[in-house]
Amino acid sequence: MEKTVRAEMEKLSVEQLKAVKEQTDLEVNLLQDSLNNIRTATTRLELASSALHDLSLRPQGKKMLVPLTASLYVPGTLQDPDQVLVDVGTGYFIEKNMPQAKDYCDRKISLLKSNFEQLVEVASKKKSISDEAGLVLQAKLKQLAPAAQ
């Protein structure tokens, strides 16, 4: 397959090769951003799962600080350690019991890890195409350089 990609690239003009290289470089950068976002989301879900475990060990009536934002906490009292609100996105929350909430986190983590692996494959292929376009472009520019003199 790589030989056919190189053969196809060798048929392209210098301008077309530059465009292919620029486009694939842009796509690789976007995929890298997506991979970073998935890593961040996975880490957050893993932290949430750990927090659920810690919360399940606390007794009813326990005084604690409740996060309203990443940097704002208010004092509160734990009413029922088995019932939690799960943020399912875009401002929606669903009340779940502890096992359901842990299962939700685990399923989301599995989905994100699967998506991560798929994106890594796509990014790798795009990077190979970009590298190949760069090599073919350099070769063509070397061929044109002596002709210009």
Q: What pLDDT was estimated at residue 77?
A: 93
pLDDT per position as a tens digit, 31-58: 999 999 999 999 999 999 999 999 888 8
- Cβ neighbours for 105, distance < 8 A, ≥ 6 positions apart: 45, 46, 48, 49, 52
* Residue 55 burial (10 A CB sphere; 0-12, 13-18, 19+): middle
With respect to residue 108, please indicate whether it lies within any of the assigned structural domains. Answer: yes
Placement of tokens 């350099």 in the chain? 138
With respect to residue 3, please indicate whether it lies within any of the assigned structural domains. Answer: no
- Cβ neighbours for 46, distance < 8 A, ≥ 6 positions apart: 105, 109
pLDDT at 3 over 90: no
With respect to residue 60, please indicate whether it lies within any of the assigned structural domains. Answer: yes
Please state the pTM of the whole predicted model. Answer: 0.78
With respect to residue 126, please indicate whether it lies within any of the assigned structural domains. Answer: yes
Q: What pLDDT was estimated at residue 70?
A: 82
With respect to residue 132, please indicate whether it lies within any of the assigned structural domains. Answer: yes
Q: Classify the C-alpha dihedral 101-107-108-113 as positive or negative.
A: positive
With respect to residue 22, please indicate whether it lies within any of the assigned structural domains. Answer: no
With respect to residue 38, please indicate whether it lies within any of the assigned structural domains. Answer: yes
The boundaries of the domain holding residue 82 are 32-144
With respect to residue 49, please indicate whether it lies within any of the assigned structural domains. Answer: yes
pLDDT at 76 over 90: yes
Secondary element (H or E) of residue 38 = helix 14-56
Cβ proximity of 31 and 122 under 8 Å: yes
Q: How far apart are CA 108 and CA 102, in angstroms?
A: 10
How many domains are contained in the chain? 1
- Report the CATH number at residue 130: 1.10.287.370
Confidence class of residue 96 from pLDDT cuts 50, 70 and 90? Answer: very high
pLDDT at 117 over 90: yes
Q: Return the half-sphere exposure (C-beta side, CA atoms, 13 A cut-off) of residue 149.
A: 5
Confidence class of residue 131 from pLDDT cuts 50, 70 and 90? Answer: very high
